[in-house]
């Protein structure tokens, strides 16, 4: 399966961000990608107003998503991204959407909110309660996570035990002491925990690190970007997963039975 990863700096104007997304979708589809992963919280962002992502929240059937769905109708590309969706007054849900053929084929409300490093996402954002169902893209089973979920190995493991071969992660990973090291280490760790491919897209700009990556089931980085806007591609191979799981059968060798998350 050919995957595309797009990273960019989200701006203050949602219409401009939507245009960037649709352009990346068109480029990915034109290049023959089956799946495109975009960053987290794409509606709006302002370095001087950390609450703008929530203030700009739209309805699940709002104008932003409708523009992306219109672009999605043009081909069979599966596009994965997250938006803030209004819940109650002044609050929102950080919601992942998987789009294909002009439809929302899956959605996931972020479970683990980023209440760490002097940030409190839960102040304005409502946490989800359920792990997302797997989706199928080009014959491969894909598990869905969002940003801070990366720090919780039991979530990735639950998806792998359910049959995931690929884990996708839209993110907006904040800059800070050791944060780039955490990002790269955790992506590799989740790949090794689960013997899955990990496809992670990070928002770039002044506050977030970018550094989108594709990691293979043995923890090898097979494609990536630095701190600037980028669109890059990687090939994921089912046989690679089969071969790695034969030599490193960690899912079979577990001494605990049953799912770790429900």
Q: Consecutive sets of 10 residues in the chain, 262 residues long: mean pLDDT of each? A: 98 98 98 98 94 95 97 98 96 98 98 97 97 96 98 96 97 97 98 98 97 98 98 98 98 81 61
Neighbour tally for 201: CB within 10 Å: 31
pLDDT number for residue 260: 65
Distance CA 143, CA 80 (A): 11
pTM of the model: 0.97
pLDDT number for residue 16: 98
pLDDT number for residue 262: 56
Distance CA 95, CA 92 (A): 9
Strand pairing of 221-224 and 213-215? antiparallel
Q: Which residue ranges make up each domain of the chain? A: 2-245
pLDDT number for residue 228: 97
Sheet holding 135-137, edge to edge: 135-137, 140-144, 166-171, 197-202, 213-215, 221-224
* Active site (catalytic) residues: 40, 110, 147
Evaluate whether 135 touches 105 at the Cβ level (below 8 Å). Answer: yes
CA-to-CA dists, residue 90 to 39, 118, 128, 206, angstroms: 23, 21, 17, 25
pLDDT number for residue 261: 66
Distance CA 223, CA 244 (A): 18
Fold adopted by 2-245: Nitrilase/N-carbamoyl-D-aminoacid amidohydrolase (3.60.110)
Neighbour tally for 175: CB within 10 Å: 13
Evaluate whether 140 touches 165 at the Cβ level (below 8 Å). Answer: yes
pLDDT number for residue 84: 98
Backbone angles phi, psi at 197, to 5 degrees: -70, 145
The dihedral built from the CA positions of residue 70, 73, 79 and 83, taken in this order, carries a sign that is: positive
pLDDT number for residue 128: 97
């Amino acid at each position: 399966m050919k995957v595309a990863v797009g990273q960019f700096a989200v701006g203050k104007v949602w219409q401009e961000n939507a245009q960037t997304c649709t352009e990346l979708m068109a480029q990915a589809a034109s290049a023959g990608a089956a799946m495109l992963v975009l960053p987290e919280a794409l509606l709006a962002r302002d370095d001087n107003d950390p609450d703008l992502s929530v203030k700009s929240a739209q309805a699940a059937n709002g104008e932003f998503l409708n523009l992306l769905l219109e672009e999605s109708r043009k081909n069979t590309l599966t596009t994965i991204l997250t938006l803030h969706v209004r819940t109650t007054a002044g609050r929102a849900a950080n919601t992942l959407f998987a789009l294909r053929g002009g439809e929302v084929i899956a959605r996931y409300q972020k479970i683990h909110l980023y209440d760490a490093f002097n940030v409190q996402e839960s102040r304005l954002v409502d946490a989800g309660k359920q792990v997302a169902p797997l989706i199928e893209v080009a014959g491969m089973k894909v598990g869905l996570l969002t940003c801070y979920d990366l720090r919780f190995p039991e979530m990735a493991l639950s998806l792998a035990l359910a049959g995931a071969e690929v884990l996708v992660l839209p993110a907006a990973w904040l800059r800070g002491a050791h944060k780039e090291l955490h990002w790269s280490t955790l992506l590799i760790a989740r790949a090794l925990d689960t013997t899955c491919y990990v496809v992670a897209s990070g928002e770039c700009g002044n506050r977030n690190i970018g550094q989108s990556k594709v990691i293979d089931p043995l923890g090898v980085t097979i494609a990536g970007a630095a701190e600037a806007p980028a669109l890059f591609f990687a090939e994921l191979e089912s046989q690679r997963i089969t071969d790695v799981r034969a030599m490193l059968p960690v899912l079979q060798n577990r001494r605990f039975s049953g799912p770790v998350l429900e």
